[in-house]
Amino acid sequence: MGGEWGSAVTYKVKFLPVNVEIEIEEGEKVLDAAFRQGVLLAHGCREGQCSACKSVMVDGDFDLDRYSTFALPDYEAEQGYVLLCQTLAYSDLTIELLNYNEEHMFLDHPIRTVLATVTEIRRLTRDITRLRLRLKEGASFAFKAGQYVDIRLPGVDPARSFSMSSLPSRPEELEFMIKIIPGGYFSTLLDQRLQVGDELEITGPFGNFYYRDGREDMYVIGGGAGMAPLWSLMCEMAEKGIDRKIRFFYGARTTRDLFYLDEIRELQGRFSDFVFVPALSEPAEDEAWSGPTGLITDVLEEYLEKHPSSAGIQGYLCGPPPMIDAAIRVLKHHGADDRNLFYDKFTASTR
Ligand SMILES: Cc1cc2nc3c(=O)[nH]c(=O)nc-3n(C[C@H](O)[C@H](O)[C@H](O)COP(=O)(O)OP(=O)(O)OC[C@H]3O[C@@H](n4cnc5c(N)ncnc54)[C@H](O)[C@@H]3O)c2cc1C
Ligand code: FES
């Protein structure tokens, strides 16, 4: 039964099998209502593109906002699957979660909106730019290494999602690695309009991509700007003295698209068993490159064939969705369990 709360009609959403209940306003999205009440549901893009929030609607009237049929194919929608980031409530709802961590059902860090000043815009490669922001005096912003925020011009939509490449131990200064897409809304803003001293508004932190303890070998896999959350995660491990076996696979097109090579070498020195495997997918014939070539996921497959993991695999993946899907297939083929695979697909925004 719906209730009146102020002028809004409100309903209840019950999540199974975790026995957590929240309130929701009529027409509100389930994921937004959960965030508002500090409840952490599995999520990625929050735009119906990645499927991280897929769940089963057991009971209730609802509608689905715009989503990609890659994230929710028609046959799944017909079977009652929904994407919680796009599910609008029109009655009390009962929802069965598919991905959840019962011990971790509440947000560690509240989602907030803060103002920040641009302190650096610097090209790292021909199409990846580093953006540094300093929070306004007195503002604080707690996050976990690997998470992301929405960035927008103050008060102006749309926003775009970008993962922090900086460390949570320096919450007053956030750093991002951003791919410049010709003609892209934020890309053009960053490349042509934004200047040091300008203000941006950030909202977050979002995302379930962060470090998990374990004894397995860590397979860290990224391409392009996917370096950002991986960099933050590995640097935080080094900072905290967490020493695990790490295999870091990074895909770029040519040597011109590789960056942070000195920094990675330095990071490598802070772990006792860290192997970095960069691979080029489109090396020029005259390039002085003796490393592996081809898709990073093929290079990963070849590596795992030669070096099977006896301790098991824990995977951390970030970058373009096709790369992540292919890497998940490879890691699962080599024994990785779904519960030990963590990723953020850098899907394009629909806003
Ligand atoms: C959880 C999450 C974390 C992310 N973290 C990062 C990050 O750390 N760094 C980063 O660079 N990006 C990241 N992204 C992706 C980023 O939010 C989008 O790439 C961004 O929307 C592109 O912004 P734009 O305004 O320049 O382009 P848009 O105006 O959104 O798009 C312009 C055109 O480019 C296409 N397009 C958009 N994104 C891509 C892409 N990545 N590759 C190829 N074509 C694209 C669109 O389909 C469209 O046709 C993340 C995305 C998500 C969901
Ligand atoms: S589809 Fe809902 S979070 Fe990506």
Domains of the chain: 3-97 (3.10.20.30), 112-206 (2.40.30.10), 217-345 (3.40.50.80)
pLDDT at 4 over 90: no
Q: End-to-end alpha-carbon separation of the chain, Å?
A: 33
Could you give the CA distance from residue 77 to residue 174 in angstroms, rounded to a whole number? 39
Atom 13 of ligand 1 has which residue's CA nearest to it?
162
Summarize the confidence of residues 257-265 as an average pLDDT.
96
pLDDT at 139 over 90: no
- Which ligand lies nearest to the CA atom of residue 345 in the structure? 1
| Beta-bridge mates of residue 246 | 218, 274
Could you give the CA distance from residue 70 to residue 49 in angstroms, rounded to a whole number? 7
* Residue-averaged pLDDT of the chain: 94
pLDDT of res. 17? 95
pLDDT of res. 7? 64
**Which of 30, 40, 53 is the pocket-test mutation for ligand 2 (most atoms within 8 Å of CB)?**
53
**Residues 25 and 9 sit within 8 Å (Cβ to Cβ):** yes
- Tokens at 18, concatenated: 């975790």
**CB-ligand 1 contact for 301 (6 Å cutoff):** no
| Cα(67) to centroid(ligand 2), Å | 9
| Cα(276) to centroid(ligand 1), Å | 26
**CB-ligand 1 contact for 223 (6 Å cutoff):** no
pLDDT at 144 over 90: yes
* pTM (two decimals): 0.94
- Nearest atom in ligand 2 to the alpha carbon of residue 42 is 3
- Please name which of 39, 36, 15 lies closest in space to residue 108, comparing C-alpha atoms: 39
Atom 37 of ligand 1 has which residue's CA nearest to it?
348
